[in-house]
Structure 1
Amino acid sequence: MLKYEATVGGTMPLISLIEKNLVGNEILSIRGIFNGTCNYILTRMMEEKYTYSYALTEAQELGIAEADPAYDVDGIDTAGKVVILANSIFGMDAKYDDVSVTGIRDITPEALNLAWERGYLVKLIGEVPALTVKPMLVPRRSPLAVGGTLNVASIETDLSGTITVTGLGAGSIETASAIVSDVVSIYTSRQIDP
């Protein structure tokens, strides 16, 4: 048995929610924030008026961002998660090259302030089955308007409407917690079904 919940949303129980609780539903789309590092950087830029480079340096000093943050800030990590969701939830045969990807490097504090004045936040959003990763305007009162290192996903279904799930998405403790959950799930299922 292979579990990979931790690879997609940190502590956010997205895959298990779909596989266990939404079995009778057709999943129409999933969109959300799948990278806590990018969300942290954008949050700090908005709340503290930091430049991109200053917010990135802070994230690195706190251990949220890697020494080489390209995988996160260029949207590569989120694109990988979009591919995993496309293939596992939607039965697609998607590859990284199929995903249209734009990262957050070029977002300025001025752009974030302009969005705020109009009632929006800028968030790096991954969409499945659309296979896109890009900074998008999110209404400030939207369930997708989470801050810090939180990840969030809105699952649109045919029968249950839209369901949103949130969880911490960056940091060593959070990642370890998600991996332990996967391991315990495997162990528990083997105890029930030897």
Structure 2
Amino acid sequence: MKSIKNVKLGFNKNAEVVVKSDIEMKSENDIDSLFLCFFSILHPPLRLSVITASSLNDQLAEIISQTPQTVEKMMRENPEMYSMLIQQNTEAFLENGEEQNKIPLDSASNSKNASAILTSMLKNGYYIQKTRYHFPNAKPETQEQKVDINQLKPAFKAMLEISKRWDDPTLKQELMNHE
């Protein structure tokens, strides 16, 4: 994977959260198509953010002190080990992630928008990820999947609470104390 572009956050007609993105691939043979999408509350300034981490094979190779070719081979020949290493290193990927979208929590309107997004994901237990892969000299390929967030519900509930309390002086003080 070369890069992630045009990450958009919105709702479909069923009020499901949809994350759309375009992925630029290195070549027609590029198999590093996996990327991670994180929702997080960041500050300062206080905001709901969508962060993506891409080029996971290159990052994983660096983390485990292997070559990217070794990681690609593991991905093909031992997908269980590959998946386990991806899961174990999620935090490192997040640290290297790129903030793609943000909703500043600086007004009642923005707070309402962020809360609606989080409430929808909590209610549904997922969001929909629509990805369009762009390969050089080939037609784009589109994939759509539901991304389960059920294991992350406590974190999403905490983000919802922060979104609702955006103008609470106590919250602002708590956040400043954790910097």
Give the TM-score, by structure 2 length. 0.29
Give the greater-gyration-radius structure (CA).
Answer: 2
Give the TM-score, by structure 1 length. 0.27
Which one has a larger percent strand, Structure 1 or Structure 2?
A: 2
